[in-house]
Amino acid sequence: MTATQLTSENERTVVDAVPKQLLIGGSWRDAEGGRTLDVEDPSTGTPLASVADASPADAMRALDAAVAAQASWAAHPPRERGEILRRAFEQIVARSDELALLMTLEMGKPLSESKAEVTYAAEFFRWFSEEAVRIEGRFAVAPNGAGRMLVTKQPVGPCLLITPWNFPMAMGTRKIGPAVAAGCTMVVKPASQTPLSMLALARILEDSGLPDGVLNLITTSSSGKAMGPLIADRRARKLSFTGSTEVGRKLMEQGSQQLLRLSMELGGNAPFLVFDDADLDAAVEGAVLAKMRNIGEACTAANRFHVAGPVAGEFSERLAEKLGAMKVGRGTEDGVQVGPLIDATQRGKVADLVTDAIGRGAKAVVGGQAREGAGYFYNPTVLADVPGDAKLLKEEIFGPVAPVASFDDEAAAIAAANDTEYGLVAYVFTRDIKRALRVSEALETGMVGLNQGIVSNAAAPFGGIKHSGFGREGGREGINEYLETKYIAINL
Ligand code: ADP
């Protein structure tokens, strides 16, 4: 590791407090050969810390530990599994300031947003602490009256949980929470860009009484090489993945060898529809949230705005005014609302998409370029008159860029919204209740935000259709991903 850019004692303290090793079978260990990987501060591009860089053999040891712990964990009383999550929830809440600072340092988002993610992350543990004791089956008389039927739920077994960098803690808790509640053991692999939040979370679970081997944590710079053999190992029973559609497809292919149970939360290309009867103030507020939360780096981010012709101009102007006034900077600074993008590659992708749209005739109402200097900053951008063939209407932008296109009528709005292979979420702004339901039902997505710019809620089933994946996380549905149904036929 070279020089760091930590600007305060506080920052140094929170980074130092995080374990940097692998957690396998209840003990923290170095990676084979003592290899490490650097974690960067995206606001400066300089290293923040180094963590263990697991080899395939390390990863296999983590699976061995998960397999060894599975039987006793499945037999652990559900109430106690729930209590562990409840204690972890309380610890996360109590330590939310330091966890938020840690998250901002490795991921870049403003402190207030990190704080919101920490709260959201904790909510999954609270929710699933309550679900652990509500795993129910049924008992019935067979139709012929002679036999009885008992239906019961059991944990699927050792799980592989792979998470992305954009929500470093919440994407962990919404997999770990239901896995713990259901009685599954696991190998968790966070993204190499943001492992610190997950390492801190693992320590919290340990302190909350999670038995050794239930959660094993692998940080690695070679995800494919480390996880491939685990996905191919028949002792692993489930893979839950959040990340790109491209990688999800690859993992699904690998998992097909042993018919692995899968949950896939993949890319999005969310349309944001504004009808001419919408409350425009509410639509602009909702648009800022749906676009700018997490610097636009969310699979639920509004990717494209389809606005009714008569209000499209005013909407673009007002959105541009809001986005143009947002303060860009290091997420730790007071008043900053827009942090850096995660790395140079991501910023390059955003810049290419904007250049393409402008080349095809779109107009930049505000922004339109990267910010000079250190870090991976991109200025908030609104593009008006975006033509239908612009690439950013088809591809996930993952940055602070809002393209606005107009539509003529409701049918055209629905057709434009559904003209994508993705199907995670859509946003609809209208004051007409009939239209609200008609459009919501016609949208090919797993979720709809009706007159609101955020849908995420631990109590709701989060997930997509089409190329956005399958399976649901959170809500009453979330725990089912970690349970098998067994039917016992009883002869009387
Ligand atoms: P993003 O575009 O958000 O970085 P990715 O799909 O590349 O999304 O990564 C999401 C997660 O999947 C990360 O933890 C990453 O390390 C992991 N990952 C990427 N490629 C593979 C792979 N071939 N096998 C297993 N995990 C992978």
Tell me what pLDDT residue 488 has: 98
Assess whether the C-beta atom of 173 lies below 6 angstroms from ligand 1.
no
Ligand 1 mean position, distance from CA 223 (Å): 7
Ligand 1 mean position, distance from CA 140 (Å): 44
Tell me what pLDDT residue 35 has: 98
Assess whether the C-beta atom of 250 lies below 6 angstroms from ligand 1.
yes
Ligand 1 mean position, distance from CA 164 (Å): 7
Which element (helix H / strand E) includes 140? Answer: strand 138-141
What 3-state DSSP class applies to 60? helix
Assess whether the C-beta atom of 59 lies below 6 angstroms from ligand 1.
no
What 3-state DSSP class applies to 402? strand
Assess whether the C-beta atom of 223 lies below 6 angstroms from ligand 1.
yes
Assess whether the C-beta atom of 48 lies below 6 angstroms from ligand 1.
no
Assess whether the C-beta atom of 222 lies below 6 angstroms from ligand 1.
no
Question: Relative to the CA of 192, which ligand 1 atom is closest?
Answer: 16
Token pair listed for 440:
């919501």
Tell me what pLDDT residue 1 has: 37
Tell me what pLDDT residue 2 has: 37
Assess whether the C-beta atom of 164 lies below 6 angstroms from ligand 1.
yes
What's the DSSP call for residue 446?
S
Look at the alpha carbons of 456, 458, 464, 469 in this order and tell me if their dihedral is positive or negative.
Answer: positive
Ligand 1 mean position, distance from CA 174 (Å): 17
**To test ligand 1's pocket by mutation, which of 247, 253, 468 has the most ligand atoms within 8 angstroms of CB?**
247
d(CA 261, CA 393): 32
CA dihedral of residues 341, 368, 372, 7 (deg, nearest 10): -40
Tell me what pLDDT residue 3 has: 39
The ranges of the chain with pLDDT < 50 are 1-4
Q: Do the Cβ atoms of 462 and 469 come closer than 8 Å?
A: no
Token pair listed for 53:
């860089």
Which element (helix H / strand E) includes 236? Answer: none
What's the DSSP call for residue 343?
-
Q: Annotated catalytic sites, by residue?
A: 265, 299
Could you tell me the end-to-end alpha-carbon distance of the chain, in angstroms, rounded to an integer? 69
Tell me what pLDDT residue 457 has: 97
365 vs 317, 358, 382, 401, 478, CA distance in Å?
7, 11, 5, 11, 41
Tell me what pLDDT residue 7 has: 67
Tell me what pLDDT residue 257 has: 95
C-beta atoms surrounding 344 within 10 Å: 12
Token pair listed for 379:
């200025």
Please name the residue whose Cα sits nearest to atom 27 of ligand 1: 223
Tell me what pLDDT residue 8 has: 82
